[in-house]
Structure 1
Amino acid sequence: MSGSVLIADDHPLFRQALRLAVERIIPGARMIEAGTLATAAAAAASAQDLRLILLDLKMPGAVGYSGIALLHAECPKVPILVVSSAGTEAAAEARAFGAVGFLHKGCDLGTIEQAIARALNHDAPLEQPPADQPMDQVRKTVAGFTPMQLKVLLAVLDGQLNKQIAHRLDISEATVKVHMTAIMRKLDVRTRTQAALVARSLGIDSQG
């Protein structure tokens, strides 16, 4: 069964290049294209046979590594391969938030095809970052957030109050408070301000 592949990138020409690479590795795969993070998240949540997500960090709606965290939360069992123009220093961060691998957009098509094949097998990168650092543990915690918890946290980073968050996400203020309580408990902080500071320290709200 070929299944489907989500290609999340706001550049149509690069999406075409990724389609070509996928078609060579998974003949007959159904392609799902998304030009914004919101579209990608909706597609990931609704796809029943998703086998792989190809994700650009720099796309509308994404800040820092929030795209990886959100798509990983929507589809925790689906490998995410980041293909981005961000520097190689972003590779370790990308993996920490749930990506199985990272490629620079300057790679040739053959390299991208090899990376796709490895990602489909959930193969780990050749070089693994150390996993025993305190910040790595916090990244793993954020990577384990539910999609709604991540959306609430991103809204807090935007400076929105509970009432505004409730309206934006179409949930009640009480539900927002429940999610904030869960977020603060998981991050081991006491206030929403502290939660926002932790998120910023991880690069979630920085332009990636």
Structure 2
Amino acid sequence: MSGSVLIADDHPLFRQALKLAIERIMPGARIVEAGTLATAAAAAASTQELRLILLDLKMPGAVGYSGIALLHAECPDVPILVVSSAGAEAAGEARAFGAVGYLHKGCDLATIEDAIARALNHVAPVEQPPGVQPADQVRRTVAGFTPMQLKVLLAVLDGQLNKQIAHRLDISEATVKVHMTAIMRKLDVRTRTQAALVARSLGIDSRD
């Protein structure tokens, strides 16, 4: 499936997660990234063969649902899938402003991939229960993290690499890797990105 997809989200790590989902659904697709509403609008207006826009409501330059309205005005025929951490009421509002649907950032990658595939066909994602949250067991797991493990996880959420985390926390890169391995094992995930998705669904990410 050819074409381009615009990811409008100010969080580099979550853009990475969305890119992974897109690459699985649309191998070979051109992916355009934007970290502010202004750059997203410019990209929407200039990107050729734009098939889909993935939009976070909470990004620089956006007020309320203005991002949906602006991008829908720029590209009225391109489906907009909102992927955000806003409250349950956002789903209805997002559709009212022109989005094909709404997906909570707490969803796993398989759910995100399914929503992207549906949105490409102008179909809304399968409705998720309001305020999707991970199981209580996951909350208890995170509550049992050591202080250093939490600091490493928060640094990952900021998009920092191991070298940057090591410098920030005054530890070695090898120690960062040890903590990251422990974090992923405790959360039963295989990648940093998946660990970050779990953390975001718990509301740990202060940038939200």
Name the TM-score class by shorter chain.
0.5 to 0.7
Letter in 1 for 2:71: L
Please report how far the alpha carbon of residue 126 of structure 1 lies from its aligned counterpart in structure 2 after TM superposition.
5.4
Please report how far the alpha carbon of residue 35 of structure 1 lies from its aligned counterpart in structure 2 after TM superposition.
0.1
What's the CA shift string for 1:134-177, capped at 9, x where partnerless? xxxxxxxxxxxxxxxxxxxxxxxxxxxxxxxxxxxxxxxxxxxx
The residue number in structure 2 matching 1:81 is 81
Q: TM-score, length-normalised on structure 1?
A: 0.60
Paired residues, number = 128
Instruction: Check the 8 A contact 2:115/2:125 in 1, yes or no.
Output: no
The residue number in structure 2 matching 1:43 is 43
- Residue 17 in structure 1 maps to residue 17 in structure 2: yes
The percent identity for this pair of structures is 88
Can you give the 5+ residue segments of structure 1 that lack an aligned partner in the other structure? 128-207
The residue number in structure 2 matching 1:68 is 68
Inter-CA distance 124–106: structure 2 relative to 1 (3 Å threshold): closer
The residue number in structure 2 matching 1:103 is 103
Q: TM-score, length-normalised on structure 2?
A: 0.60
The residue number in structure 2 matching 1:6 is 6
Instruction: Check the 8 A contact 2:119/2:125 in 1, yes or no.
Output: no
SS at match of 1:88: coil
Please report how far the alpha carbon of residue 98 of structure 1 lies from its aligned counterpart in structure 2 after TM superposition.
0.5
Q: Tell me how far apart the structure 2 counterparts of residues 51 and 13 of structure 1 sit (CA, whole Å).
A: 22
Please report how far the alpha carbon of residue 125 of structure 1 lies from its aligned counterpart in structure 2 after TM superposition.
5.0
Instruction: Check the 8 A contact 2:23/2:29 in 1, yes or no.
Output: yes
- Residue 55 in structure 1 maps to residue 55 in structure 2: yes
Q: Tell me how far apart the structure 2 counterparts of residues 43 and 52 of structure 1 sit (CA, whole Å).
A: 12
What's the CA shift string for 1:8-56, capped at 9, x where partnerless? 0000000000000000000000010000000000000011210000000
SS at match of 1:24: helix
Letter in 2 for 1:110: A
Letter in 1 for 2:107: C
Please report how far the alpha carbon of residue 124 of structure 1 lies from its aligned counterpart in structure 2 after TM superposition.
3.5
Please report how far the alpha carbon of residue 59 of structure 1 lies from its aligned counterpart in structure 2 after TM superposition.
0.1
Can you give the 5+ residue segments of structure 2 that lack an aligned partner in the other structure? 128-207
The residue number in structure 1 matching 2:115 is 115
Inter-CA distance 125–110: structure 2 relative to 1 (3 Å threshold): closer
Q: Tell me how far apart the structure 2 counterparts of residues 47 and 33 of structure 1 sit (CA, whole Å).
A: 11
Q: Tell me how far apart the structure 2 counterparts of residues 2 and 86 of structure 1 sit (CA, whole Å).
A: 31
Instruction: Check the 8 A contact 2:80/2:119 in 1, yes or no.
Output: yes
The residue number in structure 2 matching 1:177 is none
Q: Tell me how far apart the structure 2 counterparts of residues 73 and 26 of structure 1 sit (CA, whole Å).
A: 25
SS at match of 1:2: coil
Q: Tell me how far apart the structure 2 counterparts of residues 36 and 71 of structure 1 sit (CA, whole Å).
A: 12
SS at match of 2:103: strand
Q: Tell me how far apart the structure 1 counterparts of residues 31 and 124 of structure 2 sit (CA, whole Å).
A: 24
